[in-house]
Amino acid sequence: MYDGGKIITGLVIGLAILLFPFFYTAGKAAKAPEPELTPKAKEAKTCIEPTKYMRAEHMKVLDQWRDEVVRVGERYYKSAHTGETYYKSLQVTCMDCHSNKSKFCDKCHDYASVDPFCWDCHIEPKESNEGTKESD
């Protein structure tokens, strides 16, 4: 092999650069977020559907709600889980219990690096707790 030394050195340097991010962040994995519940949400014990379902599918629920409310005009959601009827509104119903956006919604959204544009229009509740910071 001609210039073997140079090639191998180059390969080693290249590999080092390639793997640098892995070494740099080794052991620094961000902890899985733990969204906080407000006292009101805790008291309610359950969301409109089981927690596991809400965790995985809340975006689909909201997507469906917005179409049903705006386009079909159906504004109420009957939950088989709780047996109650809810007004389909992110801003009015969801955020009534989960009034701590920065410690509830943003926790996972930031972790998963998703940036839903709900809040461009929908108004988030004012958070009175000290030390709350807005995500953007």
CA dihedral 43, 120, 127, 94 (to 10 degrees): -10
What are the backbone dihedrals phi and psi of residue 84, each rounded to the nearest 5 degrees, phi first?
A: -105, 170
* C-beta of 23 vs 117, nearer to other proteins: 117
Residues 90/122, Cβ–Cβ less than 8 Å:
yes
Among 60, 75, 78, 81, interactor with other proteins by CB under 8 A? 75
Among 3, 34, 84, 120, interactor with other proteins by CB under 8 A? 120
Among 10, 50, 116, 125, interactor with other proteins by CB under 8 A? 125
Q: How many CA atoms lie within 13 A of 88 on its CB side?
A: 21
* C-beta of 6 vs 71, nearer to other proteins: 71
* C-beta of 91 vs 102, nearer to other proteins: 91
Give the pairing type, strands 85-87 and 76-78.
antiparallel
Position 8 contacts other proteins (CB under 8 A): no
Helix (H, G, I), strand (E, B) or coil at 62: helix
Among 121, 128, 131, 133, interactor with other proteins by CB under 8 A? 121
Among 71, 112, 131, 136, interactor with other proteins by CB under 8 A? 71
